[in-house]
């Protein structure tokens, strides 16, 4: 067994003081039973992924890629069948040509909406980068420019769905309802799969033909079920988040009904060709292996989020979710109330990275946001937020959003490093 002093010396070389380590270990003593339950969820999801791969007879040939048009790409087609089985849907679109989560959502929206249709977000304001896509913020090429109207129904103060507001908002023009599972840059609760399921059921009770799309980013494999298990027509996400397991170098997915997926494929590629084209190049192996690792990688990230909540709540900061709440995604928000808290936290996360640890993050006017944003991510895959990362807008309530960590131990180090920076800067006392 590794001696306590030897472990301390290893943290000391990374700039962690004995005071920070002791404080962290005290917090962790109370989390052992909770971490065991997270491991049980990971075990269940691991078996689910293995079953889907075995059912579709994944073979060595599927790990190779195609070039050119990508016709008859068995690896790509089988991977999409695996994703459909993992999410219990009729079909899936899993492509390297999808640049990010926002791109995947854009494809799903444009593929399934037509001029004159109406889209309603029933989970409040969507993530910042979708504002331009929808046309909430005037942008060239938005849905609004194509004649798609938009409504928004905010969540109630307790974070639950406003069913009366939803019923009042739905009209004969309503074609698609969007639900964002995670909080984005809003300090509201992440929505549970069960709560999303109730909302899906409610919408379908009003009109069965309304498409319900769930932005599933950051939520995959946190629970033993997904929104698609409760009737969502589409679940959409990024492969450089949970389902890519830290190995997928790019890409996104849309899993859902055959019609919705087919419509999305026509927007991604071209009408009449859709899923038939799109070379996988050399990424199939990473996509398969990343999905295989995703349940355990996600479990490590969830542990890191819970650890962060318990550390910073103990120090008197508001954390969302709080230290005791159930988890529905990998994101942990910490409200500092002052900009230096966000900045020093992100500096600590960056300093804990295996890549670019020497880089000092600074707030900047990032495209698609209405305030300066600071982002910390020393990652193997650029922008991969399943890896240890943190970011936040420099505006009230000055909240930072922490997520990721390919291993639990790295997530632990990141939180301790953030705390070290805040303590050394005089912003917290233990």
pLDDT in tens, 74-96: 999 999 999 999 999 999 999 99
The pLDDT of residue 1 is above 60: no
Model confidence at 187, pLDDT cuts 50, 70, 90, reads confident
Check pLDDT > 90 for residue 159.
Answer: yes
Q: Mean pLDDT, the chain, as a whole number?
A: 96
**Mean pLDDT computed over 14-29:** 97
Question: Given pLDDT bands bounded at 50, 70 and 90, which one contains residue 338?
Answer: very high
pLDDT at 188 over 70: yes
Cα→Cα distances 174→163, 180, 195, 382, Å: 16, 18, 21, 37
Evaluate if residue 69 carries a pLDDT over 90.
Answer: yes
CA distance 6 to 248: 35
φ and ψ at residue 90, rounded to 5 degrees: -75, -30
**Which residues, other chains included, contact 151 with Cβ-Cβ below 8 Å and sequence gap of 6+?**
118, 119, 120, 121, 169
Residue 88: exposure state from Cβ atoms within 10 A (0-12, 13-18, ≥19): middle
Domain boundaries, the chain: 4-44+292-424, 64-283
Report pLDDT for 370: 80
b (16+ CB within 10 A) / e for 50-79: eebbeebebeeebbebbeeebeebebbbbb
How would CATH label the architecture of 64-283?
3-Layer(aba) Sandwich (3.40)
CATH code, 4-44+292-424: 3.90.1150.60
């Amino acid at each position: 067994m590794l001696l306590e002093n030897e472990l301390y010396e290893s943290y000391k070389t990374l700039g962690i003081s004995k005071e920070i380590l002791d404080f962290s270990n005290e917090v962790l003593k109370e989390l052992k039973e909770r971490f065991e339950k997270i491991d049980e969820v990971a075990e269940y999801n691991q078996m689910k992924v293995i079953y889907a791969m075995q059912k579709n007879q994944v073979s060595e040939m599927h790990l190779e890629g195609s070039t050119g048009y990508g016709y008859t790409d068995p690896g790509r087609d089988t991977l999409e069948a695996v994703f459909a089985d993992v999410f219990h849907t009729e079909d899936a679109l899993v492509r390297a040509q999808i640049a990010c989560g926002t791109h995947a959502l854009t494809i799903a929206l444009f593929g399934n909406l037509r001029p004159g249709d109406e889209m309603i977000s029933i989970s409040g304001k969507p993530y910042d980068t979708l504002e331009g896509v929808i046309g909430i913020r005037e942008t060239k090429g938005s849905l609004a420019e194509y004649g798609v109207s938009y409504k928004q129904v905010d969540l109630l103060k307790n974070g639950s769905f406003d069913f009366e507001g939803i019923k009042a908002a739905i009209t004969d023009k309503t074609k698609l309802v969007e639900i964002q599972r995670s909080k984005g840059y809003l300090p509201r609760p992440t929505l549970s799969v069960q709560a999303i399921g109730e909302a899906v059921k409610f919408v379908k009770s009003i009109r069965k033909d309304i498409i319900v799309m769930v932005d599933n980013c950051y939520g995959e494999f946190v629970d033993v079920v997904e929104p698609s298990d409760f009737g969502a027509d589409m679940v959409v996400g990024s492969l450089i988040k949970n389902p890519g397991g830290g190995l997928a170098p790019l890409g996104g997915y849309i899993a859902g009904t055959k019609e919705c997926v087919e419509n999305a494929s026509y927007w991604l590629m071209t009408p009449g060709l859709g899923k038939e084209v799109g070379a996988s190049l050399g990424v199939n192996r990473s996509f398969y292996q990343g999905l295989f690792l995703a349940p355990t990688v996600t479990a490590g990230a969830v542990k890191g989020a819970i650890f962060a909540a318990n550390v910073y709540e103990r120090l008197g900061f508001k954390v969302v979710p709080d230290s005791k709440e159930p988890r529905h995604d990998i994101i942990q928000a910490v409200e500092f109330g002052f900009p230096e808290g966000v900045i020093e936290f992100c500096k600590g996360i960056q300093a804990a990275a295996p890549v670019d640890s020497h880089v000092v993050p600074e707030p900047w006017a990032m495209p698609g946001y209405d305030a300066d944003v600071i982002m910390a991510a020393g990652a193997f895959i650029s922008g991969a937020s399943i890896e240890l990362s943190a970011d936040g807008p420099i505006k009230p309530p000055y909240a930072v959003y922490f997520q990721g960590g390919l291993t639990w131990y790295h997530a632990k180090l990141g939180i301790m490093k953030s705390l070290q920076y805040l303590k050394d800067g005089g912003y917290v006392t233990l």
